[in-house]
Amino acid sequence: MSALYLLGFRDDERGTEEVTSSEGKTILSHKKGLGVQPADLIRLYDRRDHYVAVGRDADAIAAFYFRSSSAVRHWSDGDGRTPYLAINKKMAAEVMRACLLVQRRRLEVYSLDGARWVLSRRGSPGNISAFEEECLRDGELPPDASTTIAAVRLGRTAGSKGYSGNARLVGVCFADGASRSLRTSEFEDDENLCTLESLLCQQGTREVAVTDAPRGAFAQKHAEQDLRRLVGSEQPVHARAFETQQQLPVGCFSALCRHLDLPSLTESHGQWGIEWVEPREFVRLDASALRALSVEPQPNEADRNASLYGIFAKTKTAGGGRLLRKWLKQPLLSPHEIEHRLDLVQTFVSSLELRATLRDTCLPAMGARAGSSRLRRPAACARRRCGLCPLVGADLDRLQRRLFSGRATLQDVVLLYSLLGSLPRLLSALAGGGYAEGGEGEGEVDGHTLVQSAFTEPLQVVHENFERYRQLVHAAELAGLGASRDETVAEIEAAHEALCERLGVDEGRVKLEKGAPHGYHCRVSRKENMTHNSLVDEKLIRDADGVNVLGTKKDGVAFRDKALDKLAARYKELAAHYQTAQARPQRPLSRRRGARARLIPPAGTLVTKVVDTAATFCPLIAELAGHLTKLDVLLAFAAVAASAPEPYVRPTLLPPEAPRALRIDGARHPCVERMESAGGGTGSFIKNDVALGDHAADAEVPSLLLVTGPNCGGKSTYIRSVGVCVLLAQVGCFVPADAMEFSPVDAILARVGAGDMQSRGVSTFMAEMLESATILRAATASSLVIIDELGRGTSTYDGYGEPSPVRRHFHELTALADREAAVGNRHVAAHVDGDDLTPLFKVQPGPSDQSYGVAVAASCDFPSSVVESAKRKLAELESATVGGGPAADAADATAKRERLASVTAEERAAGTAEVRRRLFDFGMDTPQLSESLRASTNPYVRALLEVATAEVAAEAGV
């Protein structure tokens, strides 16, 4: 039994084909002539009815897609055996999608032009315009996929020949082929380009064109003309796109046009939109922060609860999923906008009946989420199994692009008509009852009024503007064409069910299929599998009365009974009528190399006019999609907040005039509390409090918390939960806590986890230092900084010598709280009984009172001899600290600082004067200065000298 079978592929489902040796020789000859192939490039050869991959491309596709080498075949030539993989069109589309969006490889497709192989299509993770049909076949990208490419250009700051200090002027242009959107920006940045990094992360950039661009790639000639072609002459162009300080974004746009060959893609002209991106509009998040806060799922991550996107991915529309990804990476800075979103979420949280109606009934009919079980079939298709009838829900963004580009069919027109037919029910739900009472008390939200202004009224205007479209479809009598065909499909499914029941065979063993040359028919496999003997089924079919065997192949026996024969013939007639009605002249495809223009002969003049007229409603479709996706995401926020193991609460924004503060009672990490390891039920997650603020304004609240405790004790979860709560609050969502008050932050900066960059010669410790240096330069008084386990890879005292304001985990660092009033100590509690360590996951005031390293090692089943040796060594080190050695204990250091603080004001003034006089007398002669100070009788000088001597000795390791 093959590995593909065990993975769920039947032999007839692999999509593999045979290729003759003569065909293989022409492909091999061409591929060798291309020279050295980059490691991240996959090449496919289009043989009209199938695709061929050769050599390492065949092995790579078999490995990452089939996960087996059994589908790979070989050609024999003079140099040995060459592997190849031939796959049909359907399977090739799956491979292309996985290659570009999942594996993030580049892709080239070659086709025959006469007797020569020519490059017909080229794509990359940031440029999928040539593979839209394959990548966007279901209207949605994978959660961790993005198709955004950026061009970046560095310029000079105003008024200088070079750079003004370390500042740089940065111009950037983003292009997203999936959503047909252009975004430009120009801003000043620091030498580390922190703002640029944040912007690239928030836009989901997959590729960047910068230093490798050829000379002239950023030329601005004809840029405005090209832009007008892409966005359409009637669409407004944001003035800032061409009126910036040095027009750097214009040059970036020109570079992207050249790289993506946008002017030649005529079918996309007029479909692009352009907007200006203001980096200071959103909270600054770099790649480390997105990773530390688990904003997006990691590749091949099985548990959807391991990321914020996975938890909140409860949207009902494809556009809602895209907007959710965008919002999570772009937290708001404006208190007004944050409050507005929170008001809407609060309305939907408290209005259970309204939320259920919108999510379960209205939104699924307005555009079901692609790739999910929520895609609806027509009402007549009760069983919803065949996958053959058209969907009622669809991606409005993709539908708009099809209409505008001239690739739409009659089915698209009817589909839009069906969607609009569900709009009145949505409006009725929004305008009706089901709202929780509110609006009377101070701070209460009048949910009905809020939803009316945000959604009901704009959607009502859209609905009225679509009236002419509905009249157009009715006049053409198009709505009934698809309905008759769909009703026949439902009858075919019912006949299939009756046939299986009459034969006494499970429906899973008799497949209902549709394809040439038989149309709708049933098939039973001729291959044995692990659950039953298929040969028995075949004999049963042949011996049954009233069953007509249509044909026998290696993949099975095709058959129908009399009832299915009549229905299949009726469907064929209806489908032919439907196809004839929607046949229309189609605009030629773009003139890429090797591409051939398609032109369907003109027929069905009325339908042709209807489809062309429907394309004029594209701006209305975009407006409708915008309202629905926003409503979808807000409803998803409300659903998650209400259905969490413990309900989320609304965070409270502190007024701008109040001192900056962050107070969270009972903070939880949303991912951890949903993981099975945390119990998954209410009360299983140990909640903790956090209080941070402006110490100068409130002496009781620290500005910096140092958290110590044993490994696996919950320190990382604690500090990350704080960052996640702040992120969700500024996104406009409820937070996993008992209560939260906060002042908005301008950046969330994180240094979490260990990793090196061997290809660049950067060790783990060096990578940590580089990230920490970037944080220290980018952080402001309004930033939230999260640093976990900084300084690994060094000795304890080397690590202590690193910038102490950002250190955590070493006991020596906890003494900072005695010297710096803005620093606070916290520790995670744990219980140790011999070698047994039990983390309690509760964060308590003060530093950790002991080291748990040996206990952690024992709990990890270290050999007993190693554990005992570690205990002896620890005892030796602890005894060495007695008497003021180089590692003086915290209690001794505290006592010395207390003596320093106990001197009177007069003694302190006299001591300061004495130190200044002796510094003037001895200058830089350190030995003589030290001897002179030791002879002093001033209490302040003597206490100061004791503390300084202990710290110098500790740093020197003496």
What are the phi and psi torsion angles at 826 (to 5°)? Answer: -135, 150
For 82-127, the pLDDT digits (tens) are 888 888 888 888 888 888 888 888 899 999 888 889 998 888 887 8
Query: What pLDDT, on the 0 to 100 scale, is given for residue 163?
Result: 41
> Predicted confidence band at 20 (pLDDT cuts at 50, 70, 90)?
low
* Distance from C-alpha of 4 to C-alpha of 592, rounded to nearest angstrom: 36
Question: Quick one: 290 exposed, middle or buried, by C-beta within 10 A (0-12, 13-18, 19+)?
Answer: buried
Query: Which segments within 503-653 are labelled E, that is strand?
Result: 511-515, 519-524, 547-553, 556-561, 652-653
* Distance from C-alpha of 450 to C-alpha of 706, rounded to nearest angstrom: 43
Per-residue b or e along 540-572, where b marks 16 or more CB atoms closer than 10 Å to that residue's CB: ebeebeebeeeeeeeebbbbbbebbbebbebbe
pLDDT value at 437 more than 50: yes
Mean pLDDT within 42-68? 87
Q: Which helix (H) or strand (E) holds 318?
A: helix 318-329
Q: Which helix (H) or strand (E) holds 819?
A: helix 816-819
Question: Quick one: 698 exposed, middle or buried, by C-beta within 10 A (0-12, 13-18, 19+)?
Answer: middle
CATH code of domain 308-369+394-435+446-477+607-643: 1.10.1420.10
Query: What pLDDT, on the 0 to 100 scale, is given for residue 220?
Result: 62
Give 753-760 contacts, CB < 8 A, sequence gap 24+.
Answer: 753/291, 753/292, 753/788, 754/789, 754/792
For 652-663, the pLDDT digits (tens) are 999 988 889 999
Give, in order, the Cα–Cα distances in Å from 584 to each of 2, 390, 484, 604, 921.
46, 20, 21, 7, 99
Query: What pLDDT, on the 0 to 100 scale, is given for residue 954?
Result: 52
* Structure tokens given for 826: 């916290």
Least Cα distance to 341 among 316, 354, 357, 323 occurs for 323
pLDDT value at 201 more than 60: yes
**Contacts of 701 by beta carbon, 8 Å cutoff, 6+ apart:** 661, 691, 692, 693, 694, 695
> Predicted confidence band at 774 (pLDDT cuts at 50, 70, 90)?
confident
CATH code of domain 652-850: 3.40.50.300
Mean pLDDT within 781-795? 73
* Distance from C-alpha of 54 to C-alpha of 63, rounded to nearest angstrom: 14
> Predicted confidence band at 828 (pLDDT cuts at 50, 70, 90)?
confident
Query: What pLDDT, on the 0 to 100 scale, is given for residue 327?
Result: 93
Q: How many CA atoms lie within 13 A of 600 on its CB side?
A: 17
Mean pLDDT within 384-408? 61
Q: Give me the helices (H) in 2-152, please.
A: 3-6, 21-33, 56-61, 89-97, 132-135
What are the phi and psi torsion angles at 550 (to 5°)? Answer: -85, -30
Give every strand in the sheet of 556-561, ordered side by side.
511-515, 519-524, 556-561, 547-553
The residues pairing with 512 across neighbouring beta strands, listed in sequence order, are 522
Amino acid letter for position 688: N
Q: How many CA atoms lie within 13 A of 492 on its CB side?
A: 29
Whole-angstrom distance between the N-terminal and C-terminal Cα of the chain? 69
What is the CATH T-level fold of the domain 21-136, as seen in this structure? MutS, DNA mismatch repair protein, domain I (3.40.1170)
Q: Which CATH class is domain 148-281?
A: alpha beta
Query: What pLDDT, on the 0 to 100 scale, is given for residue 312?
Result: 92
What are the phi and psi torsion angles at 234 (to 5°)? Answer: -90, -15
Cα angle 934, 936, 937 (rounded to 5 degrees) comes to 125
- Any idea of the CA torsion for 785, 791, 797, 798, to the nearest 10 degrees? -110
pLDDT value at 882 more than 80: no
Mean pLDDT within 849-873? 77
pLDDT value at 488 more than 70: yes
Instruction: Determine which of 318-322, 838-842, 922-926 has the lowest per-residue pLDDT on average.
Output: 922-926
Question: Quick one: 434 exposed, middle or buried, by C-beta within 10 A (0-12, 13-18, 19+)?
Answer: middle
Q: Could you identify the residue written with the tokens 């040059």?
A: 251
pLDDT value at 775 more than 60: yes
Least Cα distance to 368 among 328, 324, 326, 321 occurs for 321
Query: What pLDDT, on the 0 to 100 scale, is given for residue 677?
Result: 47
**Contacts of 422 by beta carbon, 8 Å cutoff, 6+ apart:** 362, 365, 366
For 576-632, the pLDDT digits (tens) are 776 665 554 444 434 343 333 333 334 445 667 777 788 888 888 889 989 999 999
Q: Give me the helices (H) in 433-546, please.
A: 447-451, 457-465, 467-475, 479-503, 534-543
* Distance from C-alpha of 955 to C-alpha of 799, rounded to nearest angstrom: 10
For 152-190, the pLDDT digits (tens) are 988 876 544 444 456 788 889 998 877 788 888 888 887
- Sequence spans of domains, the chain: 21-136, 148-281, 308-369+394-435+446-477+607-643, 652-850, 905-956
pLDDT value at 398 more than 50: yes
Give every strand in the sheet of 148-155, ordered side by side.
205-209, 148-155, 168-176, 181-189, 273-276
Query: What pLDDT, on the 0 to 100 scale, is given for residue 408?
Result: 77
* Distance from C-alpha of 359 to C-alpha of 357, rounded to nearest angstrom: 6
Q: Could you identify the residue written with the tokens 């206990």?
A: 855
Question: Mean of the per-residue pLDDT values for the chain?
Answer: 75
* Structure tokens given for 196: 């640029």
Considering Cα of 213, then 214, then 215, then 220, what sign does the dihedral take? negative
Percent of the chain with pLDDT strictly greater than 70:
69
Coil, strand or helix at 926: helix
Cα angle 603, 606, 612 (rounded to 5 degrees) comes to 95
* Distance from C-alpha of 148 to C-alpha of 267, rounded to nearest angstrom: 19
Q: Which position has the higher pLDDT, 855 or 891? A: 855
Per-residue b or e along 924-951, where b marks 16 or more CB atoms closer than 10 Å to that residue's CB: eeeeebeebbeebebbbbbbbbbeeebe
**pTM exceeding the 0.75 threshold for the entire prediction:** no
* Structure tokens given for 210: 């910068």
Neighbours of 883 (CB within 10 A): 8
Query: What pLDDT, on the 0 to 100 scale, is given for residue 388?
Result: 32
Mean pLDDT within 42-55? 88
Mean pLDDT within 877-890? 48
Query: What pLDDT, on the 0 to 100 scale, is given for residue 589?
Result: 38
**Contacts of 76 by beta carbon, 8 Å cutoff, 6+ apart:** 21
> Predicted confidence band at 683 (pLDDT cuts at 50, 70, 90)?
low
Cα angle 68, 306, 364 (rounded to 5 degrees) comes to 85
Most confident segment among 290-304, 550-564, 737-751, 864-878: 737-751
* Distance from C-alpha of 61 to C-alpha of 41, rounded to nearest angstrom: 11
Least Cα distance to 574 among 482, 494, 479 occurs for 482
**Contacts of 465 by beta carbon, 8 Å cutoff, 6+ apart:** 620
Query: What pLDDT, on the 0 to 100 scale, is given for residue 457?
Result: 93
**Contacts of 36 by beta carbon, 8 Å cutoff, 6+ apart:** none
From the centroid of its chain, how far is CA 942?
Answer: 59
* Distance from C-alpha of 947 to C-alpha of 54, rounded to nearest angstrom: 72
From the centroid of its chain, how far is CA 580?
Answer: 43
Q: Could you identify the residue written with the tokens 């939907």?
A: 348
Least Cα distance to 790 among 774, 776, 803, 777 occurs for 803
From the centroid of its chain, how far is CA 257?
Answer: 26
Q: Which helix (H) or strand (E) holds 949?
A: helix 939-956
